[in-house]
Amino acid sequence: MSSSERAWEPIFPGDGVSTARGAYSPAVRAGDLVFVSGQVPRDAATGELKGADVAEQTRYTLEKLDGVLRAVGGSLDDVVSVTAYLHDIGEWDAFNRVYKEVFRDPYPTRTTVGAQLGDVLVEISAVAYLPRR
């Protein structure tokens, strides 16, 4: 099945914003919803891991997420749901402090789970509501 036969379309926001290293799209638009694949704190151009702790990695990862959304005409304000993966669920408080600084009340729905992420401390995916204009 080609992408032209699907009811959704892949989004490739461009170099420097997000790159897919596997068999997936960095983001997908399905109607008025944009689904952003998990973002990690790696520089898209160099592959360099950014941030020495979960707070720094969370901040950088959310900046990347915002970059993907801005490439399709949105921002973090359009996010309705977040899934966060933490290498160490014990770092939830540090992650949550940064999350609350970046997102504003009322917050999107969120699920946070522990995961084996190797040298990455946080990965974040999101769904945004972006009506077609």
Residue bearing the bigger pLDDT, 52 or 133: 52
Cβ(132)–Cβ(44) below 8 Å: no
CA-CA distance, 17 to 126, in Å (whole number)? 15
Residue 9 confidence (pLDDT) = 87
CA-CA distance, 16 to 43, in Å (whole number)? 8
Residue 1 confidence (pLDDT) = 45
Residue 5 confidence (pLDDT) = 83
Fold for the domain defined by 3-129? 60s Ribosomal Protein L30; Chain: A; (3.30.1330)
pLDDT bin (cut points 50, 70, 90) of residue 117 is very high
Mean pLDDT in residue range 54-75: 95
> Who's near 14: CB < 8 A, 6+ residues apart?
71
Mean pLDDT in residue range 111-122: 96
pLDDT bin (cut points 50, 70, 90) of residue 54 is very high
Mean pLDDT in residue range 94-101: 98
Residue 12 pLDDT greater than 70, yes or no: yes
Of 3-7, 28-32, 52-56, 124-128, the one with minimum mean pLDDT is 3-7
Distance set, CA 64 to CA 4, 73, 88, 99, 132 (Å): 28, 14, 21, 14, 22
Show the tokens assigned to 69. Answer: 């959304």
Residue 6 pLDDT greater than 90, yes or no: no
> Who's near 84: CB < 8 A, 6+ residues apart?
95, 99, 110, 111, 112, 113, 122, 123, 124
